[in-house]
């Protein structure tokens, strides 16, 4: 059997964040790594989705071409995937000529079969820009919540889904002029024609995850409607018909075809250009699409209907879609910048800690919440204290007591056999979880083995038996090494970087998943290192603070009263090199404030300067000295610089 795994094509208008990883990518990678260890014929296909309006909107905002935008994000996404340990057999992009040809062929074939028809519709047109405006190019007041700035497809303020004509006082996003309604022709895919076929097909998928089935059945029950597959814009795959000049394929239509074009590219790169057919045209292939919840309708209904219309290609076998991940209790939002971006994460923390945390708390059946505190706790208490500790105590013991040579063992006792039995059944038990897309349960089973290992080490007391019962001690340590060796395979899908380190430390030649039921232990171990250091509170607090940088509204800001003041006198606070006590003049009165600028200013330099300060701050004592306000200063790498006024002004002037 061949296994063709795809993970949702990430949209090339931004970096990958934790929600994406938890939804589709990490599960896909765990699955393919496991299948490879099983020795199966599996390929993992991916790439970036590079068409569509969000990309052109971003390009226009940044005064760049769409191509520049997608070139940048394709590289950036590809790099952070590699750094996160994602293993793709091919990571392509939908702007390749090969993809254009394939998408156009797809269109033409189902067009010729009569599954595509045209329809006149009215759409907004901007006479100033001389172009039709896709949904997201129209802004206006939301009909539901009245907030201005809602887009033609959705109001981000209240979350309502909208149609462009719903907007009150619509404007063109680019030039802000009022658009007019104009007739245009679009091509529609006859999705409704596949209602019965899809119904029957979904009927054969009773084993699918409940969250996916519920969603799909809901859509089928409502009845499927035909969908437009063209758009009036320049960025995209041109519709291959003479009468469709200036129109491109809608991004949802061309993107999934990217799975096929990426597989073709993979085969070409391998120098076996027909090899892709063994997967896509082979009824024995198991096609698995890893996606997030927001993609279910496309992958479980529309895409299969497209494939049914085309006829030659296989249909999806499995669509193990995950639910959403929230972040500190709130929805992630790319547009609001509320997310943890993978490149930022990787600058500070190990990839495996995130792989562990996101799987430990995977949104497999329901939404899950990522918090930095959980991350810290799981890293410190489970990866470092339980897992890292077991590996470390075993290897350290063998280094110290046996000079790095792994003791042999015979005549196992009951407790030893109990552990061997656990190891024996582990590949089957954990493998089943992974095959059923229960990645979290698979990981928890492995962690149970680690805990058994620690308990075994504690109860066998090798540090005591080394002198009193040397044979028993040898057995104990041999068994512990078997556990370590077994973990160096079982954990590879989950913690690939850590497993590499362990394998080096124990001189391990990889075994396949099934063989690890009876792990072969190397005669000697190499030098060892601590696998997981602790992450301390300070670092976590900083990450939380970064996220909580909330937007405030004008009313909040107006509460802060800022005024000018003149510094009359200044001196260091006793026993401090940084705190300066200033006497300032405001509204013909004097006041005292304490400022932490002593590293950058001498008290004498300050006297006579006009500063900006917060007038209505609650008085507080700093190092025992009263401070009735706070001066403003700008901080950068170069140091701290006081804010002052552009021209001389009286003390007590209110900053507006």
| Contacting positions for Zn ion (CB under 5 A) | 126, 128-129, 142, 144-145, 155, 157-158, 172, 174-175
DSSP state of 325: E
Helix (H, G, I), strand (E, B) or coil at 259: helix
> Is the torsion defined by CA of 91, 93, 98, 100 positive or negative?
positive
List the Cα angle 413/414/420 in 5-degree steps: 90
Query: Terminus-to-terminus CA distance in the chain, angstroms?
Result: 71
- Nearest-angstrom CA–CA distance, 552 and 108: 52
Q: What is the largest CA-CA distance in the chain?
A: 93
DSSP state of 564: E
Task: For residue 48, list its beta bridge partners.
Answer: 93
- Nearest-angstrom CA–CA distance, 152 and 172: 10
Which H/E stretch holds residue 185? strand 180-189
Buried b (16+ CB within 10 A) or exposed e, 602-633: ebeebeebbbbbbbeeeeeebeeeebbbbbeb
DSSP 614-635: ETTPPPEEETTEEE-SEE-EEE
> Is the torsion defined by CA of 309, 288, 82, 544 positive or negative?
positive
- Nearest-angstrom CA–CA distance, 437 and 560: 53
- Tell me the two tokens of residue 279: 């997967």
> Is the torsion defined by CA of 128, 134, 140, 143 positive or negative?
positive
């Amino acid at each position: 059997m061949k296994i063709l795994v795809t993970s949702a094509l990430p949209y090339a208008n931004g970096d990958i964040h934790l929600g994406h990883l938890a939804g589709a990518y990490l599960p896909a990678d765990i699955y393919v790594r496991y299948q490879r260890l099983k020795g199966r014929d599996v390929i993992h296909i991916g790439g970036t989705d590079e068409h569509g309006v969000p990309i052109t909107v971003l390009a226009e905002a940044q005064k760049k071409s769409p191509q520049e935008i997608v070139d940048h994000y394709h590289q950036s996404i590809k790099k952070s995937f590699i750094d996160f340990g994602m293993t793709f057999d091919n990571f392509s992009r939908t702007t390749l000529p090969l993809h254009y040809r394939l998408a156009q062929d797809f269109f033409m074939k189902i067009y010729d079969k009569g599954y595509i028809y045209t329809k006149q519709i009215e759409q907004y047109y901007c006479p100033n820009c001389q172009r039709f405006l896709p949904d997201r190019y129209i802004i206006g007041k939301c009909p539901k919540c009245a907030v201005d700035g809602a887009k033609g497809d959705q109001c981000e303020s209240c979350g309502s889904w909208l149609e462009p004509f719903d907007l009150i006082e619509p404007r063109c996003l680019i030039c802000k002029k009022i658009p007019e309604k104009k007739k245009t022709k679009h091509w529609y895919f006859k999705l409704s024609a596949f209602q019965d076929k899809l119904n029957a097909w979904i009927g054969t998928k009773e084993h699918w995850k409940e969250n996916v089935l519920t969603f799909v059945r809901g859509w089928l029950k409502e009845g499927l409607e035909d969908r437009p597959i063209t758009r009036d814009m320049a960025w995209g795959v041109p519709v291959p018909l003479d009468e469709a000049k200036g129109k491109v394929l809608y991004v949802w239509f061309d993107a999934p075809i990217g799975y096929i074009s990426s597989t073709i590219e993979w085969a070409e790169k391998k120098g076996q250009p027909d090899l892709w057919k063994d997967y896509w045209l082979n009824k024995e292939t198991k096609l698995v699409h890893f996606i997030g919840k927001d993609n279910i309708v496309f992958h479980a209904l529309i895409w299969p209907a497209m494939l049914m219309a085309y006829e030659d290609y296989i249909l999806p076998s499995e669509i193990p879609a995950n639910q959403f991940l929230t972040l500190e209790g709130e929805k992630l939002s790319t547009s609001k910048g509320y997310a943890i971006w993978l490149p930022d994460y990787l600058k500070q923390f190990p990839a495996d800690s995130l792989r562990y945390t996101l799987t430990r708390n995977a949104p497999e059946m329901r939404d899950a919440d990522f918090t930095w505190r959980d991350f810290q706790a799981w890293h410190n208490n489970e990866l470092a204290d339980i897992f890292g500790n077991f590996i470390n105590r075993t290897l350290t013991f063998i280094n110290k007591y046996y000079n790095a040579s792994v003791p042999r063992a015979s005549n196992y006792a009951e407790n030893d056999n109990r552990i061997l039995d656990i190891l024996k059944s582990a590949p089957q038990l954990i493998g089943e979880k992974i095959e059923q897309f229960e990645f979290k349960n698979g990981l928890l089973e492995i962690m149970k083995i680690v805990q058994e290992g620690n308990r075994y080490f504690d109860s066998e007391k090798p540090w005591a038996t080394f002198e009193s019962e040397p044979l028993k001690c040898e057995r104990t340590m041999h068994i512990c090494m078997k556990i370590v060796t077994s973990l160096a395979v079982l954990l590879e899908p989950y913690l690939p970087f850590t497993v590499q380190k362990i394998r080096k430390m124990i001189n391990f030649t990889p075994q396949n998943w099934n063989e690890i039921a009876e792990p072969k232990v190397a005669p000697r171990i190499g030098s060892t290192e601590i696998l997981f250091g602790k992450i301390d509170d300070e670092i976590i607090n900083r990450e939380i603070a970064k996220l909580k940088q909330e937007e405030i509204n004008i009313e909040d800001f107006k509460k802060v009263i800022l005024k000018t003041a003149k510094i009359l006198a200044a001196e260091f606070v006793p026993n401090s090199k940084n705190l300066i006590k200033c006497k300032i003049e405001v509204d013909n009165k004097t006041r005292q404030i304490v400022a932490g600028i002593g590293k950058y200013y001498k008290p004498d330099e300050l006297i006579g300067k006009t500063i900006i300060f917060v007038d209505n701050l609650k008085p507080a004592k700093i190092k025992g000295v009263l401070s009735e306000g706070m001066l403003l200063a700008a901080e950068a790498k170069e140091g701290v610089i006081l804010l002052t006024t552009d021209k001389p002004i009286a003390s007590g002037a209110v900053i507006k």
